[in-house]
């Protein structure tokens, strides 16, 4: 039987609020709020820390609310961290967690102001679902492979709800997409084959791509190509990148982890016909989309390649403005070291994880660069995650 303790919760942290067990160990507690006295069931116990869930609130915070989603409770869906937190307190929670990451990892004391997205409910355009033994779609319970079946997701665009009524037996995973003009499913079969299907489960090869407009530019997005999950994210991040990059006519831009060209296209518009944009992306699907998306901006060259130190040495020089938007794992220390030695004009780093951004920022800062600006956007509502846009400048220029 799991052990139970009464704790006073102190501050938000990655993985839940921090409290201390009777033996002095830190405990990361889900479903709690700073300042609350709670009863916690310990779900994981290590030599230096523990994890637990709130099972009773003895003294509630004024910021505690009833979760708007019926699945957001202990033992329920593990997709959301902050459904029990008043939306007015989300920004402060996320800012404190991100600031702690920068202080602990990069040794930078940052005041982070979070810009709220326009909405949370129905804001997602993609939802990756598991399939249970009865063929029902759902999300995994926190820290578990057990699927919590859903009939609706409070965050996801409701146009996909028909899919929750269908039997998906034979599928390993189903990603529901409502990007742009069409809602459909991207299905990974038990064999590993990926197909597209209507929301009632009918395989349909004609549903192979989404088309979406962002700030006047039209993008094709194939089923295996990455696209931001929040409806506001493409436009919000594009504006932030353009503001930070300060590209002028004739500039040379390198767009690393460039995806389908979300940033490459508007960056090329700013660089003009006498400028140049080199877009580097590992995904064959995203590169095919990008080549289609940049068809009328010939100053963009799409390079299908992993981002490695060697590639960075080949495409980045002292004339370059670098934009990078790596996955959650970040660009990595070796790639950041290569950027440092290439000495570009500036680096604009888009990140969905404060910890890996802080780790990568440390490479540039320790090398004498300045973190010139840092913007944060709440584009992962009801979770502890943020999108961040950091601008770095070499101090020798």
Catalytic residues: 352
How distant, in Å, are the alpha carbons of 33, 120, 303, 397 from that of 250?
A: 51, 39, 20, 19
In sequence order, what are the beta bridge partners of 373? 391
Phi-psi region of 75 (alpha: psi -120 to 50; beta: other; left: phi over 0): left
- Tokens 């459909």 -> residue: 184
User: What is the arrangement of strands in the sheet containing 171-179, beginning at the earlier edge strand?
Assistant: 147-149, 137-140, 126-131, 171-179, 182-189, 194-197
List the structure tokens of 306.
């992993």
For residues 345, 263, 109, 333, the Cα torsion angle rounded to the nearest 10 degrees is -70
Between CA 330 and CA 374 the distance in angstroms is 16
Tokens 């039997």 label which residue? 167
Contacts of residue 273, Cβ cutoff 8 Å, sequence gap at least 6: 298, 299
Could you give the CA distance from residue 251 to residue 237 in angstroms, rounded to a whole number? 20
- How is 152-183 classified by DSSP, letter by letter? --TTB-GGGGGGGGS--TTEEEEEEEEEBTEE
């Amino acid at each position: 039987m799991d052990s139970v303790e009464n704790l006073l919760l102190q501050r938000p942290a990655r993985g839940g609020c921090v409290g201390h067990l009777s033996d002095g160990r830190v405990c990361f507690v889900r479903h709690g709020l700073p300042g609350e006295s709670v009863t916690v069931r310990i779900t994981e116990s290590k030599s230096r820390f523990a994890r637990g869930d709130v099972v009773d609130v003895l003294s509630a915070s004024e910021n505690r609310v009833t979760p708007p989603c019926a699945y957001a409770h202990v033992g329920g869906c593990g997709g959301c961290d902050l459904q029990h937190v008043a939306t007015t307190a989300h920004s402060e929670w996320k800012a404190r967690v991100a600031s702690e990451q920068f202080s602990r990892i990069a040794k930078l004391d940052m005041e982070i102001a979070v810009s709220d997205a326009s909405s949370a409910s129905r804001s997602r355009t993609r939802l990756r679902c598991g399939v249970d033994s009865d063929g029902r779609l759902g999300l995994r319970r926190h820290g578990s492979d057990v699927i919590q079946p859903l009939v609706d997701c409070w965050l996801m665009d409701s146009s996909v709800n028909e899919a929750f009524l269908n039997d998906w037996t034979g599928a390993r995973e189903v990603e529901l997409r409502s990007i742009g003009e069409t809602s459909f499913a991207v299905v990974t079969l038990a064999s590993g084959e990926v197909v597209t299907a209507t929301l009632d489960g009918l395989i349909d090869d004609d549903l192979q791509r989404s088309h979406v407009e962002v700030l006047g530019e039209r993008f094709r997005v194939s089923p295996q190509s990455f696209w931001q999950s929040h409806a506001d994210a493409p436009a919000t991040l594009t504006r932030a990148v353009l503001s930070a990059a300060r590209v002028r006519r004739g500039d040379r831009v390198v767009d690393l982890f460039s995806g389908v060209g979300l940033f490459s296209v508007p960056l090329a518009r700013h660089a003009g016909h006498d400028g140049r944009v080199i877009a580097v992306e590992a995904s064959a699907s995203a590169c095919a989309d990008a080549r289609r998306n940049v068809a009328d901006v010939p100053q963009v060259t799409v390079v299908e390649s992993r981002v490695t130190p060697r590639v960075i040495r080949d495409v980045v020089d002292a004339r370059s403005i670098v934009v990078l938007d790596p996955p959650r794992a970040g660009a990595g220390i070796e790639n950041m070291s290569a950027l440092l030695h290439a000495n570009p004009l500036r680096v604009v780093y888009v990140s969905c994880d404060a910890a890996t951004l802080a780790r990568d920022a440390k490479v540039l800062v320790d090398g004498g660069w300045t973190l010139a600006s840092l913007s944060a956007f709440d584009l992962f509502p009801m979770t502890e995650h943020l999108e961040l846009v950091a601008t770095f400048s070499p101090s020798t220029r």
